[in-house]
Structure 1
Amino acid sequence: MKLRTVRGIVGSLMALVAVTALFGCGSSSESTAAAVTPPPATVAKAVETFTTTDALAASQQNVLIVDVRSAANYAAGHIPGAIRNTVSINSTTASATGSAGTLGLTQAEFVSLANTLGITPSTKVVAYDTDNSSSVGRFVWTLLRYGHKNVAILDGGYQKWVAEKRPTTTTATLPTANTVSYAVSSVADIDVSADYVLSKINTPGYVIWDSRSVLEYIGYDLRTNPRGGHIPYAVSLDWTNLQTQDANGVSVLKSSTEILELLKEHGITPDKEIIIYCQAGVRSSYSSDTLLGLGFTKVKNYTGSWGEWSAALKSDGSYKYPVSTGTNP
């Protein structure tokens, strides 16, 4: 598995070098061509954490539709009846860097979100974003974490809805806040800390999945981080490889069979615990939602992700967590 992963990364880098020579470095996608075609994976049922535009159109009256796009995009046009999420899905809790970052919401913060948006334990929620944005994944993952299973991502998002010439509006729908506070009945064990991740590096039965771009993984694209690279022994698989384009050029989720084959190629299988990270726990949330929807039962989202991992310091001022660069494990 490690050799195939390195080959995949090297192949991706060769492709990126060719593109850079012509157009400059601007691609965030990753080639997933493998040296050996893996055997077919077990065919799964539909990804249960996603829903279709057809299904939403058929049952809009019984669903709370949540638009997680910007205020400007919502004002320019949205699905009729959709409310816009105005509540942050990043916790005010301090991360390992000592400042509030991207950690998952506390239970109290989640209850505040649900009460503000009018989500009750029996509410069916469908959330959407642009077709190729992973932010909707973080919103849905947050609800799943606090036991709200009746929630799904609208596959293809607003772009697919519009491409299919379905009705839109510029008239805002305001949420109806809860009069009775949301009661959390269970909390899913799908969020982990940096120290937990550290304890699982290169451990049999565990896979750490880096869902960022290859350029971030190798340490070339630093973004705003003090250090580039990846968590040692993490597998590189850009989250965008979970998607394909439909006939209208809209990004949608691949079939469950295609996704399972892709995951298996990278050693991501249901028998292992899968720990996923990105830059800020957003792309990893979309990836987590996908695995959970496929029936994986041991899925953990490291919401602190690279923003926390690369910057956290020990008391002596040295960096707290190890980093690998390039194609090194």
Structure 2
Amino acid sequence: MKHIVEKEWLLKHLNEENVRIIDCRFSLANPETGGTEYEEAHIPGAVYFDLEKDLSGNVSGHGGRHPLPDLDGLIEKLEKAGIGEDTTVVAYDNGEGAFAARFWWMLSYLGHNNVYVLNGGFKNWTGANYPVTAEVPVFNRASFRPAINEAILADMEEVKAISQGQTENSVLIDSREEKRYLGIEEPIDKKKGHIPGAINKPWMQGLEEGHYKPIEDQKKRFADIDPEKKVVVYCGSGVTAVPNYLALKEAGYENVKLYLGSFSDWISYEENEIE
């Protein structure tokens, strides 16, 4: 796989100077859980990045529940972690895939291409009795110069144009589970339903027991979508859509964007329709 590494690879390269490991464990239900888990035990050399403190900005009127973070602050933390332009970075979560993928996407947005997600996450690592530690590493500061890749980020206006059929050869994917897509159930956001015109490809169907399914399986999931089309993925707040983004890239789709504000941003505009 192009953007995913296995635990055996990471174990082999664990102590290499040019490899950095990022712990992204998080619980949407209890935001402090990930940091606590990191303090108790993590992969040796791993630095903790918090979904809401490091990988998201402050919530405001628009932008959704997990908007873009302050990029200067994020870059500052990357540099403190010893991450420079040539560093190989591997992110992991507990095996959900979404939190590590959010970090992977953020670094891709900053123009850092040598970044990967650990398949199976921390649970798969510990399940193999691989080493863990409570020691918090300290690295020499690196220099990280971003090259923002706007081509992978979609905003509300672009999504609206696709929704209204104004943009040809474009597909909008709602990555949430079917009950939320259909508006049968909405446990988080203030409105139910989905962005008009979006098709449903639940993100969790791209994983099995914490592992991303093989490339051929991902291709079958998206077989009804022309690889030549532009694809924009969204979810509730721009986190669980990223596993679909990653899966699409693995399946060979080149023109893929993340609507980072997602449904929580869409519904913040009263004039936007909901299906």
- TM-score scaled by structure 2? 0.87
Partner of residue 226, structure 2: 269
Query: What runs of 5+ residues in structure 1 fail to find an aligned partner?
Result: 1-45, 246-250, 313-318, 325-329
**Displacement, 1:128?**
0.3
Q: 1:254 aligns with which of 213, 218, 238?
A: 213
The whole-number CA distance in structure 2 between the counterparts of 1:51 and 1:165 is 18
Aligned residues between the structures = 261
Amino acid at match of 2:54: S
Partner of residue 161, structure 2: 199
Q: 1:176 aligns with which of 139, 151, 154?
A: 139
Q: 2:54 aligns with which of 88, 91, 97?
A: 88
Answer with 1 or 2: which has the greater Rg. Answer: 1
Residue 60 (str. 1) matches residue 60 (str. 2) = no
Aligned structure 1 segments of 4 or more residues deviating by more than 6 angstroms: none
SS of the aligned residue for 2:264 comes to: helix
**Displacement, 1:186?**
4.8
SS of the aligned residue for 1:147 comes to: coil
**What fraction of aligned residue pairs are identical, expressed as a percent?**
25
SS of the aligned residue for 1:54 comes to: helix
The whole-number CA distance in structure 2 between the counterparts of 1:109 and 1:293 is 30
**Displacement, 1:99?**
7.0
- TM-score scaled by structure 1? 0.74
Query: What runs of 5+ residues in structure 2 fail to find an aligned partner?
Result: 26-33
**Displacement, 1:220?**
2.0
Q: Which moved more, 1:214-223 or 1:276-285?
A: 214-223
2:180/2:192 contact within 8 Å kept: yes
Residue 146 (str. 1) matches residue 107 (str. 2) = no
1:279/1:305 contact within 8 Å kept: yes
1:91/1:100 contact within 8 Å kept: no
Partner of residue 264, structure 2: 307
1:275/1:300 contact within 8 Å kept: yes
The whole-number CA distance in structure 1 between the counterparts of 2:139 and 2:185 is 42
CA gap of 1:259–1:190, structure 2 versus 1, over 3 A, is: same
Instruction: State the Cα RMSD in Å.
Output: 2.0
**Displacement, 1:286?**
2.1
SS of the aligned residue for 1:60 comes to: coil
1:97-141 deviation line (CA, Å, top 9, x unaligned): 347742234543442342243311111100100112411111110
**Displacement, 1:187?**
2.2
The whole-number CA distance in structure 2 between the counterparts of 1:240 and 1:118 is 32
1:147/1:185 contact within 8 Å kept: yes
The whole-number CA distance in structure 2 between the counterparts of 1:204 and 1:104 is 27
